[in-house]
A and B are shown apart, each in its own frame.
Chain A
């Protein structure tokens, strides 16, 4: 016998089948397209933003995200279940396409049949098993949603419709296959190439051929109608993510990671800055809201949400979507609530994990920009005075600017004003300049460089805050003022290499300042010292130390620097007992996004939560790489009442002890 099957068996391949089938399909597709055309108009309320450049990069990113499910499967369990479901369903879709191509094209016009022989056997078994996997995964996801009910996972009527439709499509498919096999394949070797179908066939085998044929054709049409319902349901339900999430990967921000758009503050045509209305956002921002599948991964990782603050990145995106689609006149600041907008630490945990390539942080900063630049509003008076302090003294701590370089007295370091011929400019930052605890880090860095024979210069009292906390808090004007002054100063000295010990300064100088005509190379101290270690200039005595290590958000997620700090620690003899949440999943210290200037008055303390995670490792030392993190952990150790159990230190301190 020939290894194939009759396509359109029992239902026939005449016009009584094809005409209604194609009319239905066409109608469903037209409905789908028309609804999306209406949605495109909603997206277009937003401002323009370039997301059609670098097309090959974008297409490859989209194919990876969609076909490989690369972002979805980062979360084991439900992510993998979705991945397997997707791949199975995609195979079934491809199988259906092959049938259409053969039956209604190659065979019809050229008499070519390719679904035969060994290829047919493969086709048969693959699709059969794909159906089984799809049902199993769908069942697992259903159980998760309705029986396990993980915290924060919200189920809506959408989810019932989606699960119901998919189950009905998959099971009716097997009934059709079973009925056909019961009539045509029982006792043949072909049947074993459809193992799941065979089970259905065996159950149905007792009925007469007449009944089976009638069951087959009824179910066939029912299955077709279900598929049409599925297509029509796409734009009306969360099924739309099949398109919106996929395309969002195509339109994703190609970097540099987390870089904010610089506002043109001199443009006299602009009457409003930041975002308060939906039309102040970009079309991509609105498209983002349509790509969200409410998987809550962002919310699970959000440090604000996890400490009972009113922010959920997911809800914020959904609230913006609600405004865009149903209430375009509403103020975004009202819809999202100011306390939620102020709670963000810009740690990027949400954006990093989002399988839909949604950009949360820039929207939050855009809304903050409106509050600060247009309303003069801040999360608290302490933030306003930090801004004023920075205007007057160039640092949010309010300490007289003239003493900025005093920490370096007696260390043999000159300012560039005294001697501009240096190997590197150390951009110290406010905390390492003024904060007693962090001055030790600046001192350690200088001594490490001196031991490696590097000539370091500083700016002393001429240095100003890099502007990062102000910028993230929405004060783009103050940020740009500070940036312009720093840039003019640094460029004036002909600096060739800058090193920072603060990841916030690093991120700002290395990414944000690039918009302001600044091209001097910038390195973070962990990377710089790692280089000195590697080329033999820096020599360390290894001395054992049990510790855990915290990835700061701005070195980690914002700049993908995870290994250099760990290599330094290991070279120093550190044995790292890792916390649960590390690298791209690291939990914020609470001080990013300008929150270093703000009181944390809502919910519980983020820094205490992180310190408790460090305590769980049993290691007595918590190492970090950021002055804000160190400040927060010093405070968190006291707050968590674990003084004596855990010491917060900076990597540079343990390196200095091992010179």
Chain B
């Protein structure tokens, strides 16, 4: 079985974001980088599928600058067999369709039986790439998966719907699923696997070699929403707090009128 898992390197969400000069993306200074959280579930599920079927080859793919190889090493340490780094210093300048096209171009002749991606990225959050890859490869895709099973060449997936409803969906392989948070418990790589990961194959291609399409959308502006008021935390003894609250309600609202 041939499995592909696509991951993205994103900034740690605890970082302090600044808008970059041209206001179409965030500034990459002073950021700590990590694997997109949704993709961690995808990698874990791919590794679990590999150990379930036994005879499988698992490729991890990532688009981005040199530093994404650090994140790829984690995926390799978690159990991926080989890495494909598609080198692009400014991947944020490509829209989801271009990113999906690059992946599809890479995957088209590789005959992957199963492709895993995160449901969305934590930084752009378009939730388009996985679905578009499936479409471009002309294979079925199941999105927002919280539970995954594979048997007899068939995928059975549980999808998360709004309002706490779940849906069971199945399809034949080859197929693609996009992974929702909570799908599994991503493993912590063991030391021998971290060491082995350093010696695993990690190929790198320039993104330009695989990019055959043009983008379909443009980011006009990235910005912080304007501050409109905010929360107010009152501190002090209970009696004082009550007085303060009454004062505010009198001044700012009509509820006590």
Which A residues lie at the B interface, using CB under 8 A?
265, 268, 271, 273, 372-378, 381, 384, 387-388, 391-394, 398-403, 461, 477
Contact = CB atoms under 8 A, between A and B. Distances in A.
Given A392-B34, A393-B32, A461-B30, A398 B188 contact: no
A46 B223 CA distance: 62
A403 B16 contact: yes
Contacts of B187: 376
B37 to A, nearest CB: 10
Interface string B52-68: 00000000000000000
A450 B194 CA distance: 45
B192 A376 contact: no
A384 B188 contact: yes
25 contacts: A373-B191, A376-B187, A381-B185, A387-B188, A388-B34, A388-B188, A392-B32, A393-B12, A393-B32, A394-B32, A398-B12, A399-B14, A400-B12, A400-B14, A400-B16, A400-B31, A400-B32, A401-B30, A401-B32, A402-B15, A402-B30, A402-B32, A403-B16, A477-B191, A477-B194
Q: Find the residue from B189, B190, B194 having the highest chain A CB count within 10 A.
A: B190
Interface in B173-225: 185, 187-192, 194-195
A387 B31 CA distance: 18
B150 interface: no
Contacts of A373: 190-191
B112 interface: no
A273 B191 CA distance: 8
Q: Find the residue from A387, A400, A401 having the highest chain B CB count within 10 A.
A: A400
Contact of A400 (B15, B192, B194, B195): B15
Nearest to B193: A376
B188 A392 contact: no
A377 B187 CA distance: 9
Given A393-B14, A402-B16, A376 B30 contact: no
A378 B188 contact: yes
Contact of B12 (A265, A374, A392): A392
Interface string B143-180: 00000000000000000000000000000000000000
A388 B185 CA distance: 14
A402 B14 CA distance: 10
Q: Which 5 A-B pairs have the closest CB atoms?
A: A402-B30, A376-B188, A373-B191, A400-B15, A400-B14
Contacts of B34: 388, 391-392
A283 B47 CA distance: 39
Interface in B8-46: 12, 14-16, 30-34
A375 B30 contact: no
A101 to B, nearest CB: 60
Q: How large is the interface on B (under 10, 10 to 19, 20 to 34, 35 or more residues)?
A: 10 to 19
Chain A facing B: main interface SS: helix
Contacts of B31: 400, 402
A265 to B, nearest CB: 7
A265 B193 CA distance: 12
B250 to A, nearest CB: 31
A352 B177 CA distance: 56
A392 B33 contact: yes
A268 B191 CA distance: 11
Contacts of B192: 271, 374
Nearest to A373: B191
B41 to A, nearest CB: 14
B236 to A, nearest CB: 14
A372 B31 CA distance: 28
A375 B192 CA distance: 10
A481 to B, nearest CB: 10
Given A399-B14, A400-B16, A402-B15, A376 B33 contact: no
A388 B31 CA distance: 15
Contacts of B30: 400-402, 461
Contacts of A398: 12, 14
A392 B35 CA distance: 10
Nearest to A274: B191
Nearest to A268: B195
Contacts of A392: 12, 32-34
Contacts of A265: 191, 195
B44 to A, nearest CB: 11
Nearest to B34: A392
B184 to A, nearest CB: 12
Contacts of A461: 30
Contacts of B189: 376
A375 B33 contact: no
A367 to B, nearest CB: 15
A571 B192 CA distance: 53
Q: Find the residue from B14, B187, B190 having the highest chain A CB count within 10 A.
A: B14
Contacts of A402: 15-16, 30-32
A401 B32 CA distance: 7
A400 B13 CA distance: 8
Nearest to B191: A373
A492 B14 CA distance: 29
Given A400-B32, A401-B32, 17 more contacts: A265-B191, A265-B195, A273-B191, A374-B191, A374-B192, A376-B190, A388-B34, A391-B34, A393-B12, A400-B15, A400-B16, A401-B30, A402-B15, A402-B16, A461-B30, A477-B191, A477-B194
Given A392-B33, A392-B34, A461-B30, A374 B190 contact: yes
Contacts of B33: 392
Contacts of A400: 12, 14-16, 30-32
B114 to A, nearest CB: 24
A471 B137 CA distance: 47
Nearest to A377: B188
A279 B12 CA distance: 42
A384 B33 CA distance: 18
Contacts of A403: 16
A377 B190 CA distance: 9
Contacts of B15: 400, 402
A109 to B, nearest CB: 67
A375 B15 CA distance: 30
A403 B15 CA distance: 8
A77 B34 CA distance: 58
A403 B185 CA distance: 30
A241 to B, nearest CB: 38
B196 to A, nearest CB: 11
Nearest to B187: A376
A381 B184 CA distance: 12
Q: Find the residue from B15, B16, B32, B34 having the highest chain A CB count within 10 A.
A: B32
Nearest to B74: A391
B77 to A, nearest CB: 10
A572 B7 CA distance: 57
Contacts of B195: 265, 268
B244 to A, nearest CB: 21
Contacts of B188: 372, 376-378, 384, 387-388
A476 to B, nearest CB: 8
Nearest to A263: B191
A25 B142 CA distance: 84
A387 B189 CA distance: 11
Nearest to A461: B30
Q: Find the residue from B30, B190, B191, B194 having the highest chain A CB count within 10 A.
A: B191
Interface string B240-254: 000000000000000
B107 to A, nearest CB: 29
A388 B35 CA distance: 11
Contacts of A399: 14
A381 B191 CA distance: 18
Contacts of A388: 34, 188
Interface in B100-136: none
A461 B31 CA distance: 11
A401 B14 CA distance: 9
Nearest to B17: A400
A433 to B, nearest CB: 14
A374 B33 CA distance: 25
A391 B34 CA distance: 9
